Amino acid sequence: MALADERGLGAVSMRSVAELVGVTPMALYPHVGSKAALLDGMVGRLLGQLVAEPGPTAPDPPAAPWRERLGTLARGVRQMAVRHPWAAGLLFSRPAVASGSMRTVDLIFAALLEAGIPPAEVPRLERMVSSFILGHVASEAGGRFGPLTQDLRDERYRHRGQELPAHARLDDVLETTVDWDAEFEANLDDLALMIEAVADRARG
């Protein structure tokens, strides 16, 4: 994990890890099984830290309102991706039902139940909420949300009229710089809005 944090996931090889540990590459195999298992273990450890208490992102007391608890968890995931950008992409290939993820899933389940989502809809909404959080966080960590280079800005401006009609209607708005912390908070607000709307629909 130190290797991935400092030099990127590409710098993590059985050979580099072995050197760091002071051992021959093949000595790792009885311990970690394979490189895939090593990466799996890294993600698992991170997920464990996420819901561990005490820790950098200790969960709110269970008594806190569901909106608060969901926010704290989401911020924890985002912080994890900031500190360990290599992890964001790996999370999509790790079953959400795996050991390390179950606690996280349970926290979202509890929040949704408290919000008034009918049990039958809770698993689907958990997947929806977690997909959004991971999608946002992977977009930030992976670079999907930026940067807008001058070349791309020029290209956008050229095609504004015909091929990008909606862009043309947003000319000034698209020039403002984005506060990503504020955007994440606003998204969490709207996610809560959706959860409430789904709960209302269920109440009839």
Partner DNA sequence: ACCTGAACACCGTTCAAGT
Question: Which entry of DNA, a copy of itself, none binds 24, CB below 5 to 8 A by partner kind?
Answer: DNA
At closest approach, how far in Å is the CB of 124 from a copy of itself? Answer: 5
In terms of CB distance, is 18 or 105 closer to a copy of itself?
Answer: 105
Token pair recorded at residue 95: 């079953």
Note whether 128 binds a copy of itself by CB under 8 A: yes
Which of 40, 36, 200 shows the shortest CA–CA distance to 118? 200
Note whether 123 binds a copy of itself by CB under 8 A: yes
Residue list 148-167, contact with a copy of itself (CB under 8 A): 148, 152, 155-156, 159, 163-167
**CA 62 – CA 66 distance, rounded (Å):** 9
> What's the per-residue H, E or C state across 126-163?
HHHHHHHHHHHHHHHHHCCCCCCCHHHHHHHHHHCCCC
Question: Which entry of a copy of itself, DNA, none binds 96, CB below 5 to 8 A by partner kind?
Answer: a copy of itself
Residues that bind DNA (CB under 7 A): 12-16, 23-27, 29-31, 34-36
**CA 110 – CA 92 distance, rounded (Å):** 22
Question: Which entry of a copy of itself, DNA, none binds 187, CB below 5 to 8 A by partner kind?
Answer: a copy of itself
Which of 24, 9, 193 shows the shortest CA–CA distance to 84? 9
